[in-house]
Amino acid sequence: MDFFSKTMKLNNADTVPFLTYNSLEEIKFIKHGFSTRLGGVSKGIFTSMNLAFNRGDNPDDVVENYKRLCNSIGLDFDTLVASAQDHHTFVRNVTRENLGVGITKPRDMQSVDALITNEKNVTLVTYYADCTPLFFVDTKQKAIGLAHAGWRGTVGRIGQKVVEKMQSLYSTNPRDLICAVGPAISKCCYEVDKACADEFYNLTDLNASGFIFPAENEKYYIDLLECNSQVLQRAGVPRENITISDLCTKCNSELLWSHRATSGRRGTMCAVMSIVE
């Protein structure tokens, strides 16, 4: 399989593949990764690396997929803590008391689209199949965050809300944050109707011409990644501290799960990140 990216690296391509950001790999106190659709044991429409328990896959296969992914990245399966996403903007601080939630323990909250922590060996897990992952690393206070930004979360400024929560709990200075945006469905493939586009036009303090592109028949193409980058910049993160993925999930649907490419018959990827030293 051909793979090319200026922003990301494909690791362990012949066994259990996962992606890492070049910019985040330079930060030695964290480990991170973004799964692909390859290297797991799931079957049927979930073949082969599905990380979601709520789509009808065999839960034993999902657990085995997590174990394989963790082994490939070099993370401890027992340190995972998962989100409970529903396209809102709640940010949850998690600690070692929450280990296993959403993986080996039941979810104990119903609406969690972002996770943050400043504790070692707590591995954050968030889910994707076209929506935009957001990675946050506070290089001074040694704190991290992951957020799931679908179009609703994006217009709800979930990126800003993560920054604000990290400021409140960890004394994070936004200028110390290193962030990464994507992989996600990109402007080449993300067509929406006028009602959805109007939600983005309502972000009047941002440069809409950078992420809304009118098409024919009252359709529009939206650049979720650029919009999230602008939200982060408005929250105080310097543009030079933000890496935007150059991988579109739909264009790379042989490697990555895409809801639109599969008409919803799919598995789910995850982002993971942990403070390891």
SS3 category, 9: strand
- Is residue 124 a contact partner of residue 115, using CB atoms and an 8 Å limit? yes
* Cβ contact 134:158 at 8 Å: yes
Domain that holds residue 47: 8-187+237-275
The CATH number linked to 89 is 3.60.140.10
**Residue 146 included in any domain:** yes
Q: What is the pLDDT of residue 2?
A: 83
Nearest to 100 by CA among 119, 118, 123: 123
Decide if 62 is inside a domain: yes
In this structure, is residue 204 part of a structural domain? no
Question: Is residue 217 assigned to a domain?
Answer: no
Asked whether residue 196 is assigned to any structural domain, the reply reads no
Query: How many structural domains does the chain have?
Result: 1
Q: What is the reported pTM? A: 0.98
**Residue 152: what are its φ and ψ, rounded to 5°?**
-70, -45
Does residue 230 belong to any structural domain of this protein?
no
What pLDDT is recorded for position 225? 98
Q: What is the mean pLDDT of each run of 10 residues along the chain (277 residues)?
A: 93 98 98 98 98 98 98 98 97 98 96 98 98 98 98 98 98 98 98 98 98 97 98 98 98 98 98 97
Question: Has residue 267 been placed in a domain?
Answer: yes
Asked if residue 249 belongs to a domain, the reply is: yes
